[in-house]
A and B are shown apart, each in its own frame.
Chain A
Amino acid sequence: MPFIKVRDDLCKGCKLCITFCPKQVIRMSDRLNPKGYYVAELFDKEGCTGCGICARMCPDVAISVYREDKKEVPA
């Protein structure tokens, strides 16, 4: 199953990933990072297709995308 990892130290909680996720599987967590931002998290691991749109739209380059196949994230 594809999934994403959000780096808590980089996320500023801007919610762009949440907005643009075609599967709507990302949400705000209740974790605060040291800078005082609530960070985003993947809540539905089954739903993530590893399309990478969230990562591309993340202004803080906080998201890594994991997938089995090598097919590239649209670049």
Chain B
Amino acid sequence: MKVVYERPESLLDVPFTYCPGCTHGIIHRMVADTLDDLGIRERTIGVSPVGCSVFAYEFFNCDMVAAAHGRAPAVATGIKRVHPDKIVFTYQGDGDLAAIGTAEIIHAAARGENITVIFANNVIYGMTGGQMAPTTLIGQKTDTTPYGRSVEANGHPIRVCELLSSLDGVAYLERVSTHDPKHVLKAQKAIKKAFQYQVDGKGFTLIELLSTCPSNWGMNPLDSLKWLEESMLPYYKPGVYKDIG
């Protein structure tokens, strides 16, 4: 009997700090599996954000740099410009990427920085206790939208893949989900493809992963996955938004 599937080498042997059932962990594993599969762990530099995944630098078994809130794409740009031959990725939440870091992500994409962005969209600010995110759905109740997000007060949620798809610097953009094995498998393929594009020098790649926040959504892990499927998928449609092939 052999072990055919185990903790990837690209993850350190420490427990995640995520809440039970939070899909940040599933996404971490997919990134780590990809680094293993492509044999790039030893030449990869990851950039962790500010958000629940702030401790990603304690989990990935590759060189890691912790960025200020929203600035991961700028930090990654600095690293990549020093080591163009290395693989550089950022891991970011939706508050980090689509609110405070909007300028950085748009310009990194526009420049066609040859980096890979792993974007975990859980439509809420997890780490700070469940406030409205730029991605929070209309009607969604959060700590700072206790009556539900309204268009009048808060405007519309941002769809990052759609927004970035018009930029010429982008090589590959796909939105995937983590709510069931079928979608996770698709997500894994997308992540691998994005890193492969970077290895091949094709330019900016971003995978948006619809993710859960059971703790701040106030649901158990299973109901969270159901809510993701029923409420998030209709607004955030999975699919390839750009692929230069």
A interface list, Cβ under 8 A from B: 2-3, 9-10, 12-16, 19-20, 35, 37, 50, 52-53, 55-61, 64-68, 70-75
Q: Is the CB of A15 within 8 A of B21?
A: yes
- Interface of B (DSSP majority class): mixed
CB < 8 Å A-B pair total = 94
**In the complex, what residue of chain B is closest to A59 when comparing beta carbons?**
B25
CB of A66, distance to nearest CB on chain B (Å): 5
Q: Find the residue from A37, A68, A74, A75 having the highest chain B CB count within 10 A.
A: A75
Given A68-B2, A72-B4, are A59 and B24 also a contact pair (CB < 8 Å)?
Answer: yes
B interface list, Cβ under 8 A from A: 1-8, 11, 15-16, 18-26, 28-29, 32-33, 37, 180-181, 184-185, 188, 221-222, 225
A13 to B21, CA, bound (A): 8
Complex partner residue of A56 from B11, B28, B181, CB under 8 angstroms: B181
Q: Is the CB of B21 within 8 A of A65?
A: no
Given A64-B6, A67-B2, A67-B4, 10 further pairs, Cβ under 8 A: A10-B16, A12-B20, A19-B222, A55-B5, A56-B188, A59-B22, A59-B221, A60-B16, A64-B7, A67-B1
